[in-house]
């Protein structure tokens, strides 16, 4: 399984579908489409006082439906696979997901990847969805999707979360093959589920190459126990990094409030492992606790003030394209095969955002050179 980078297609306004031509060039393994209601960035610091990005967009939460955008991308591309990264199984019923995935696979002529996860609080609780027992709900949703895909007639199902009675989905798969399912997972139970069901895997956070390798080993052992080929599960990862031309630019980037806000996605336990106390307190669970609308300006101002740049640099690969590529290559050595290099320097402001795509491409080129040399 060769190393090949993935690309993102932003599913926020302003939507730019003109980039699809470049992404459909054969360079990328797949194009990943986020599916959110809101972003991780707090409303309270999305103001010109903190970032000039607020002068270009009135809100960080102008999200479009990721599955709907995938449909547009499916008919505007010809060869590159398209993956949701990821859709949760709380906001969308598994019967709808099963039908939508088949629809997108027909529209793309067999290029759709159904990327699924168990959900995050920010996209669920404000809208009144039941977020109790998300992992149990997630596994049952997978069972329902597979049941509807693989049954030849009406089916009944009675679970803890979903019930089917004489339900049918007679739409045949494109060319006789159902869409691959990739799972976003980091916790022990979710990794076990990944091994039993998934064709591909992303961790929600892998803070060192060793951590990535340990999680991948759990996935593969689970696959073996389920009688599946563990090496047939494609290992991916969204590698958040800070790419800069030199140390002076990196210092400017890592001091930006929205870049510091990345640590809101990191748990206190994880940050403690790198030798830092979390500015949100010892019980902070990372992205599971984020609700951008209720994190007050006072609280986030304190957070930004109390976050040392060194804490961000401890958990995020950083440096020049060549330096970042060497770190990502360590993840490749741990088993990664489809990296998405996500340059968080773009959150430092409009000037940094303007050069981000070129920095990412340079990092991808250097990573591929390293992988080719190793081969």
pLDDT single digits (tens) 147-171: 999 999 999 999 999 999 999 999 9
- CA 35 to centroid of chain Cα atoms: 9
By the 8 A CB rule, do 148 and 155 touch? yes
Instruction: Identify the pLDDT of residue 329.
Output: 98
Instruction: Identify the pLDDT of residue 361.
Output: 98
Structure token pair of residue 31: 């194009």
Q: Which of 182-191, 220-229, 278-287 has the lowest mean pLDDT?
A: 278-287
CATH code for the domain defined by 6-242+317-374: 3.20.20.30
Question: Does residue 228 carry a pLDDT above 80?
Answer: yes
Question: Percentage of the chain surpassing pLDDT 90?
Answer: 91
Structure token pair of residue 76: 């505007």
By the 8 A CB rule, do 182 and 199 touch? yes
Instruction: Identify the pLDDT of residue 149.
Output: 98
Strands 155-158 and 163-167: antiparallel
| pLDDT per residue as tens digits for the range 62-89 | 999 999 999 999 999 999 999 999 999 9
Q: Give the pLDDT band of residue 121 (cuts 50, 70, 90).
A: confident
Helices (H) and strands (E) in the chain, counts: 15, 12
Q: Compute how many other C-beta atoms are within 10 angstroms of the C-beta atom of residue 134.
A: 20
Strands 155-158 and 82-84: unpaired
Cα separation of 177 and 105, whole Å?
10
Helices (H), the chain: 20-23, 66-76, 94-107, 121-124, 134-150, 188-197, 209-225, 247-254, 257-260, 268-273, 297-306, 309-315, 321-333, 350-354, 356-374
Instruction: Identify the pLDDT of residue 335.
Output: 98
- CA 270 to centroid of chain Cα atoms: 18
| pLDDT per residue as tens digits for the range 289-347 | 887 777 888 989 999 999 999 999 999 999 999 999 999 999 999 999 999 999 999 99
By the 8 A CB rule, do 364 and 261 touch? no
Instruction: Identify the pLDDT of residue 280.
Output: 93
Question: Does residue 9 carry a pLDDT above 80?
Answer: yes
By the 8 A CB rule, do 7 and 60 touch? no
Nearest to 142 by CA among 179, 103, 188: 179
| Domain edges within the chain | 6-242+317-374
Instruction: Identify the pLDDT of residue 41.
Output: 86
Mean residue pLDDT of the chain comes to 96
Question: Containing H/E element for 76?
Answer: helix 66-76
Question: Does residue 271 carry a pLDDT above 80?
Answer: yes
| pLDDT per residue as tens digits for the range 31-57 | 999 999 999 888 888 999 999 999 999
Nearest to 335 by CA among 371, 360, 305: 371
Instruction: Identify the pLDDT of residue 7.
Output: 98
Instruction: Identify the pLDDT of residue 136.
Output: 97
Instruction: Identify the pLDDT of residue 259.
Output: 97
Q: Give the pLDDT band of residue 199 (cuts 50, 70, 90).
A: very high
Instruction: Identify the pLDDT of residue 70.
Output: 98
Instruction: Identify the pLDDT of residue 226.
Output: 98
Cα separation of 167 and 141, whole Å?
15
Question: Does residue 108 carry a pLDDT above 80?
Answer: yes
């Amino acid at each position: 399984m060769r190393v090949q980078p993935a690309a993102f297609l932003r599913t926020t306004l302003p939507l730019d579908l003109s980039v699809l031509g470049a992404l459909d060039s054969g360079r990328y393994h797949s194009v990943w489409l986020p599916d959110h209601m809101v972003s991780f960035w707090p409303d309270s610091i999305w103001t010109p006082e903190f970032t000039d990005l607020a002068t270009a967009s009135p809100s960080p939460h102008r999200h479009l439906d990721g599955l709907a955008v995938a449909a547009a991308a499916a008919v505007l591309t010809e060869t590159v696979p398209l993956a949701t990264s990821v859709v949760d199984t709380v906001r969308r019923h598994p019967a709808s997901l099963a039908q939508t995935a088949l629809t997108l696979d027909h529209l793309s002529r067999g290029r759709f990847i159904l990327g699924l996860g168990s959900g995050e609080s920010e996209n669920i609780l404000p809208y009144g969805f039941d977020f109790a027992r998300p992992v149990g709900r997630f596994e049952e949703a997978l069972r329902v999707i597979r049941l509807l895909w693989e049954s030849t007639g009406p089916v009944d199902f009675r679970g803890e979360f979903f019930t089917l009675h004489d339900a049918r989905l007679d739409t045949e798969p494109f060319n006789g093959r159902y869409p691959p399912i990739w799972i976003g997972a980091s916790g022990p139970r979710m990794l076990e589920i990944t091994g039993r069901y998934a064709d591909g895997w992303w961790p929600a956070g892998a803070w060192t190459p060793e951590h990535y390798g340990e999680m991948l080993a759990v996935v593969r052992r689970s696959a073996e126990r389920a009688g599946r080929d563990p090496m047939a599960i494609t290992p991916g990862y969204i590698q958040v990094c800070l790419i800069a031309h030199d140390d002076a630019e990196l210092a400017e980037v890592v001091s930006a409030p929205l870049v510091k806000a990345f640590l809101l996605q990191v748990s206190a336990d994880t940050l403690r492992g790198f030798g830092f106390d979390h500015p949100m307190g010892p019980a902070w669970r990372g992205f599971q606790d984020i609700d951008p609308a209720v994190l007050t300006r006072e609280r986030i101002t304190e957070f930004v003030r109390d976050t040392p740049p060194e804490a961000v640099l401890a958990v995020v690969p950083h440096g020049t394209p060549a330096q970042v590529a060497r770190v990502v290559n360590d993840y490749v050595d741990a088993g990664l095969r489809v990296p998405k290099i996500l340059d968080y320097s773009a959150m430092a402001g409009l000037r940094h955002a303007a050069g981000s795509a070129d920095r990412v491409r340079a990092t991808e080129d250097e990573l591929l050179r390293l992988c080719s040399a190793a081969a």
